[in-house]
Structures are given as structure tokens and as C-alpha cells.
Amino acid sequence: VQLVESGGGLVQAGASLRLSCVAPIQPIGTYALGWFRQLPGKERELVAGMNWSGSRTYYEDSVKGRFSIIRDDAKRTVYLQMNSVKPEDTAVYSCAASILGGELGPYDSWGQGTQVTVSS
């Protein structure tokens, strides 16, 4: 499965940003979808995930209440809505998918990543 992210860039702290990931899979509703980030010098971590049915979501503690994972089946796209961003959110963000998976993974398909940089 080939996933393609977009929407990264440079933003100021406190701003909002929405990342998009086009997932040309049919039907997208059978895939768990997630967003990972990799901070400089650290391992990749799961930021937000949604199980295949959309009934459960997961958010990493530091983004709870600020980030939302949203799936649009008609557009075969999953979004990461990022509000009130902080400098520590600076990272490369990647989307991931797993057929009939859970919100925590494991994920087996990845996008190439998009850089998000938050200035203070």
C-alpha cells in the first residue's frame, strides 16, 4: 500500500496545521490508520491511531486534546488535525496503515513522511 502525506511546513507555536495522507486502498474502511512522528535523535512514536472500523482511537499523552485523527472514506484520506502546536511537536510525521488492524498497530505500510517545524 502506497501512502502519500502532505501538509507539513513551518508554523508558529499556537497555530493549527492539518496533515493529509492519501491512501489509495479499497475500501479504506478495512484499514487501521495511524500517524507517527520521529523527533530528532529519537525513535519513531505513534501519535494517533484509529482501528479499522473507526470505533476506537488512540492518542499519545502529549497530544491529547490538541490533535485529532480523522478519516474520510470517500476521499480515501486520513488527516491529522494539529491544534495549539508546540515547538516540541517538531518532527517528521508519517502515516501508516494496516488491514483489519487495531489502533495501536502493528502497522505494515508507511508513507514517506512530511516535516513539521514549530517555531517559538
User: Looking at residue 116, what is its pLDDT?
Assistant: 97
Which of the residues in the chain have pLDDT under 50? none
DSSP per residue, 72-107? ETTTTEEEEEE-S--GGG-EEEEEEEEET--TT---
pLDDT, position 22: 94
